[in-house]
Amino acid sequence: ECSSWNTIEKFAEILNRAGYSSPVRTPRGRDILAACGQLKSASERLTAKQRKQLEEAAS
């Protein structure tokens, strides 16, 4: 689970004041399970039967 945006900004500000660069990335793709390898992880959880059904539906 991700920290709140407010918490992230406060932490980045503390780092910046201490002289460290702290770019904050904007999360993208979570709604379609495409963020940080989640798409791959979701596909690996498919059972063999589910995978076969998906392959048949795609062809």
Q: What is the DSSP letter of 30?
A: G
Q: What is the DSSP letter of 46?
A: S
Cβ atoms 22, 15 nearer than 8 A: yes
State the residue range of the domain holding 30: 5-58
Cβ atoms 12, 22 nearer than 8 A: yes
pTM across the whole model: 0.46
Written as tens digits, the pLDDT of the chain (59 aa) is 778 889 999 999 999 999 999 888 877 666 566 655 555 555 566 677 777 888 888 87
Number of structural domains (the chain) is 1
What confidence score (pLDDT) does residue 59 get?
79
